[in-house]
């Protein structure tokens, strides 16, 4: 490897997945040092953005309500209307009771607020996790009663692409923000000029702006809250057209809002019509929207949730349940008005139970190496003990403490 130019080495390693990079770091000190370089991590993240994956969560299993995470590359999706079953890659198993409706995703990391981990025997905690590596971090506790008792209090994960900085926004009164990084992490109070209650559904972070749907406390009208992750300033967009069951999506770098509803023919799902509309925020400052409406014939397909939009502009819809790890994802192309169904299967011993379980999904998942170098409170089962020890020994950050248990 010493005889190979560094740029060629970077080119080779950047084509690997995050798990393979983790294994390569265990080979030698030379490889370990090279794969920690900021310029390599930047190259890897750039490459990862051009090979996005679908991320799936299947849960909950066992007495600890474990969630199994799988992923599959977007480019493996065939072009036919229906396709053979695709095997999804197992990523990790995460124990802990948590509400999937409150999960948050940003630039390769996932945020699980208010999670109870029976294995650790601790109170509810807020957890940041890298599903590609299985490494997790417990965030500092927020000593606020609203964290547990106020259903309108929510927290979200955001990412600033300029400073490469992750932040967690906790919305209550007063509100707080937490910057992830080296040193001691602590929650800081921030001001929001508009009192509001947060609606159902997840927020979404697009190009450094965190969006979520809310209801104004003064007149009970809907509003989209826009939080600039870098400046920590708020803006508000009129959301009177939107209601609780709308889904926020990233449509080619712009905020999109999707709604769908079924129209049954002869009181049967067979021959039903699906009306789907998508609003796109073309200009945040001017609050200019464009609306796009589509009609699909439902046939015998069933999906329960709008997942998001791929980088190619396809709207992703998800079947509500899986059976022994088998589930179906639908891809709607707005340009050709075609609907494609793709079957996926996750393989794990916990899936042997024939009971139906819920499946969740995230589009455009990017693998990020930066989080590999933060100290972890624990690691999910996708990281074996040898690799886990290696991660801990080379850690750059000392913000979080290691636990003695696995």
Each residue's pLDDT tens digit, 271-323: 567 788 899 999 999 999 999 998 877 655 566 667 899 988 999 988 777 76
When comparing pLDDT for 135 and 212, which is higher? 212
Write the DSSP assignment of 343-396 as a string of letters: EEEE--GGGGS---EEEEEEEEE---SGGGGS--SEE-TTS-HHHHHHHHHT--
Specify the pLDDT at position 109.
Answer: 92
Q: What is the pLDDT of residue 228?
A: 97
The one-character DSSP state at 228 is E
> Residue 405: is its pLDDT beyond 50?
no
Report, as an integer, the average pLDDT of 340-359: 78
- Residue 154 structure tokens: 């929510």
Q: What confidence score (pLDDT) does residue 133 get? A: 79
pLDDT at 349 over 90: no
Mean pLDDT of the chain: 78
Tokens 């990233």 found at: 250
User: What confidence tens digit (pLDDT) does each residue in 45-98 have?
Assistant: 888 777 888 999 887 655 557 788 999 887 666 666 556 688 888 888 887 777
pLDDT digits (tens, 9 = 90+) for 239-272: 877 765 678 999 999 999 998 776 666 555 555 6
What pLDDT score was predicted for residue 77? Answer: 63
First to last CA, the chain: 34
Most confidently modeled of 21-25, 147-151, 283-287?
Answer: 283-287
What is the per-residue pLDDT for 398?
A: 30
| pLDDT score of 63 | 54
**Highest mean pLDDT: which of 36-50, 181-195, 220-234?**
220-234
Interstrand relation of 135-138 and 204-206 (parallel, antiparallel or unpaired) = unpaired
pLDDT at position 97 is 75
Q: Indicate whether this model's pTM tops 0.85.
A: no
Quick one: pLDDT at residue 105? Answer: 93
How large is the average pLDDT for residues 7-12?
90
| Distance between CA atoms of residues 178 and 187, nearest Å | 5
The lowest-confidence range among 5-14, 96-105, 249-258 is: 96-105
**pLDDT band at 351; cut points 50, 70, 90:** confident
Backbone angles phi, psi at 13, to 5 degrees: -65, -30
Asked: is 51-252+302-393 a CATH 3.40.462 domain? The reply is no
With a CB cutoff of 8 Å and minimum separation 6, the contacts of 109 are 128, 129, 130, 157, 159, 166, 368, 371
The answer, yes or no, to whether residue 27 has pLDDT greater than 50, is yes
């Amino acid at each position: 490897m010493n005889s190979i130019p560094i740029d060629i080495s970077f080119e080779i390693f950047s084509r690997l997945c995050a798990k393979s990079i983790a294994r390569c770091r265990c080979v030698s000190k030379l490889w370990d040092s090279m794969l920690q370089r900021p310029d390599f991590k930047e190259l890897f993240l750039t490459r990862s953005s051009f090979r996005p994956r679908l991320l799936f969560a299947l849960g909950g299993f066992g007495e600890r309500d474990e969630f199994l995470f799988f992923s599959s590359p977007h480019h493996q999706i065939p072009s036919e209307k229906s396709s053979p079953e695709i095997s999804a890659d197992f990523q990790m198993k995460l124990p802990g009771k948590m509400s999937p409706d409150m999960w948050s995703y940003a630039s390769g990391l996932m945020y699980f607020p208010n999670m109870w981990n029976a294995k650790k025997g601790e109170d509810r905690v807020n957890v940041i996790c890298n599903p590609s590596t299985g490494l997790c971090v417990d965030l500092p506790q927020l000593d606020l009663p609203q964290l547990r008792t106020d259903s309108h209090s929510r927290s979200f994960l955001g990412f600033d692409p300029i400073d490469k900085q992750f932040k967690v926004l906790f919305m209550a009164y007063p509100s707080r923000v937490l910057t992830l990084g080296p040193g001691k992490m602590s929650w800081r109070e921030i001001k929001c000029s508009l009192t509001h209650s947060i609606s159902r559904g997840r927020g979404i972070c697009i190009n450094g702006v965190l969006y979520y749907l809310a209801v104004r406390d003064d007149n009970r009208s809907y509003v989209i809250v826009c939080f600039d992750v870098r400046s920590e300033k708020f803006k508000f967009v009129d959301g009177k057209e939107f209601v609780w069951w709308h889904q926020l999506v990233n449509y080619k770098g712009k905020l999109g809002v999707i709604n769908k509803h079924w129209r049954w023919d002869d009181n049967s799902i067979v021959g039903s019509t699906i009306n789907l509309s998508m609003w796109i925020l073309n200009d945040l400052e001017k609050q200019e929207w464009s609306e796009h409406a589509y009609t699909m014939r439902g046939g015998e397909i069933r999906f329960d949730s709008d997942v998001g939009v791929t980088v190619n502009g396809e709207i992703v819809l998800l079947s509500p349940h899986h059976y022994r790890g088998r589930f179906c994802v639908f891809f709607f192309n707005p340009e050709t008005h075609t609907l494609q169904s793709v079957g996926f299967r996750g393989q794990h011993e916990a899936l042997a139970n024939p009971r139906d379980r819920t499946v969740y999904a995230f589009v455009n998942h990017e693998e990020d190496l930066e989080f590999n170098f933060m100290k972890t409170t624990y690691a999910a089962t996708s990281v074996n003990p040898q690799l886990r020890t290696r991660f801990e020994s080379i850690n750059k950050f000392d913000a979080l403490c290691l636990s003695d248990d696995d």
